Chain A
């Protein structure tokens, strides 16, 4: 017990150090990097939702982009109609997406591998475009999302992007902290048992169905928050903010680090944020045509995804995890 407390306080210390580092970094780097920091936070949260769902409970989802869309639209609708503050609109995004996720999870718990993959892929393809058909959701133009200028007390040279970064980084730190604690809790252990040995798990009293639905619900809530953060950095929510390639990117980020590790998810998120820059560099060398630069990021992401699965199917961290378990 004492050891658990000790590791928990060390982890808290690490989080505080990261938070301070992010705070200082946001003051020295330029605007673009600050914005990338905000994107990084969005990806970290989105990847955390996949790590929890796929890495722990063993359910695959190719449709988390659609769940992010639900979170994004919920946050914007709540903010614009009820004039709620940012934290409240984020909380509404989490709750509404988790609610949708619990319904979806109820069905998902009964589906296996490829069926679940196909169903969630269908969601990623079809759901965001549904917004085009309801005028309350703003159609193709979407809805503006204005969270307002940073508070005056932060000084007059405090930029809008830095404000987004602060909000996103704080949200990401809190969510990763909570997720980490969920994963090391009873539920995390149940999910892991369920994933690696479903029959033994159910024999030792784990209710597989209920446990899977719980994982799907929590994961959806986290994805919903990522969606709300994303639309805040974009200033608006549109169906095209949640393309199929977003779902692909999140899966890639999670797979890169072997899907079972939140810290690895941070590295995955870093890669995702870096890809557009790398693609720009390469596209410039290839002549810089618009069609090249528009498609190279997707190309690189997909290539990384394929190569990772072929070379490191079980991820770089998995051997560590297994030896840790048998101790």
Chain B
């Protein structure tokens, strides 16, 4: 029972890591940038969701509002900042470092803007269903209806993404623009537009991750920092290139961490995630799903 329950808890936290990993992978594939500002975009969207919750007390309205806000913010970041950056910084020693530093700066900018608007104090974010575990007979397991909701929502978001990517023309363009931008452009794909749509999808996925994770913790301008790191670890486990890999990587990390928390020690969650990150990067940098000779940079 304990084993099964730990597995379920891991699945639920892993689902959220997957969404963040997915957001990072979407941007990485289209733009070759690991978007550290993703945590900032997600926190801004989550606060916008908080506005909705505090006015209407309706989580189910907050989730889509945050998703749309996240998508808009993502598109805005690409159009306003990343396009400018790519135009201005083409070569030189800064070309490799500039995107990292700019997204880092953007993370700081959004965090402090959010802090200026809403303050640094912790905000409660009410879950739509109870966070008390399911009860079977006399035993109550940690896995709660809210955890179930997280898993279901994530599965729906992932399903929508995979339908878009596999079955629609837009998905085909997205994949083509990521795979061979020049050839895609020759084939009539509007690469810049498609890339912005990719950023919007990523922003939406990050926003959903933020709104889903927040009721279990609480909301503050830096409450999603750890999620960014765990999403990055999940994305790296999956190879940083593959959307399926990101989904699997996040879940694998979530379940692994859940077992360490349950059976070893609660203080080891971060160190073990960090060690997993280093080990994957050293032993199999292309990720568990990666093809041989994965990308270096």
Contacts and interface: CB of A to CB of B under 8 A. Distances in A.
B274 interface: yes
Q: Could you say which of B36, B95, B97, B273 has the most chain A C-beta atoms within 10 Å of its C-beta? A: B97
B180 to A, nearest CB: 21
Contacts of A306: 81, 102, 105-106, 109
Nearest to B279: A107
A127 B295 CA distance: 28
B36 A117 contact: yes
A160 interface: no
Given A195-B93, A291-B119, A294-B115, A251 B88 contact: no
Given A115-B236, A115-B281, A298 B100 contact: no
Contact of A298 (B102, B112, B118): B112
Contact of A113 (B97, B226, B266): B97
B262 to A, nearest CB: 16
Given A113-B96, A305-B108, A119 B33 contact: no
Interface string A235-262: 0000000011100100110010000000
B92 interface: yes
Interface in A281-320: 290-292, 294-299, 301-303, 305-306, 309-311, 313-315, 318
B297 interface: yes
Q: Could you say which of A58, A127, A295 has the most chain B C-beta atoms within 10 Å of its C-beta? A: A295
A51 B236 CA distance: 28
Interface residues on B, range: 35 or more
A126 interface: yes
Given A114-B100, A130-B270, A291-B120, A298 B277 contact: no
A170 interface: no
Interface in A35-90: 54, 58, 60, 62
B34 interface: yes
A313 B97 CA distance: 9
Nearest to B226: A125
Contact of A299 (B92, B100, B116, B120): B116
Given A298-B111, A302-B109, A122 B100 contact: no
Interface string A250-277: 0110010000000000000000000000
Nearest to B81: A306
Contacts, number: 159
B104 interface: yes
A117 B100 contact: yes
A45 B129 CA distance: 51
Interface stretch (B136-144, B206-214, B227-235): B227-235
Nearest to B278: A107
A313 B281 CA distance: 28
Contacts of B120: 291, 294-295
Interface in A107-164: 107, 110-115, 117-119, 121-123, 125-127, 129-130, 133-134
Interface in B244-278: 266-267, 270-271, 273-274, 277-278
A113 B97 CA distance: 7
A62 B282 CA distance: 19
Interface in B74-103: 81, 84-85, 88-89, 92-102
A27 interface: no
Contacts of A318: 92-93
A306 B97 CA distance: 12
Given A107-B281, A244-B225, A313-B94, A60 B100 contact: yes
B204 interface: no
A196 interface: yes
Contacts of A107: 278, 281-282
A195 B116 CA distance: 40
B131 interface: no
A294 B92 CA distance: 36
A107 B270 CA distance: 18
B85 A248 contact: no
B105 A305 contact: yes
A196 B96 CA distance: 12
B5 interface: no
B119 A113 contact: no
B105 A130 contact: no
B229 A111 contact: no
A327 B11 CA distance: 61
B58 interface: no
Contact of B105 (A112, A126, A244, A302): A302
A301 B108 contact: yes
6 contacts: A119-B277, A127-B270, A130-B270, A302-B106, A303-B109, A305-B108
Interface of A: 54, 58, 60, 62, 107, 110-115, 117-119, 121-123, 125-127, 129-130, 133-134, 195-196, 243-245, 248, 251-252, 255, 290-292, 294-299, 301-303, 305-306, 309-311, 313-315, 318
Query: Which 3 A-B pairs give the minimum distances between C-beta atoms?
Result: A302-B108, A305-B105, A295-B115
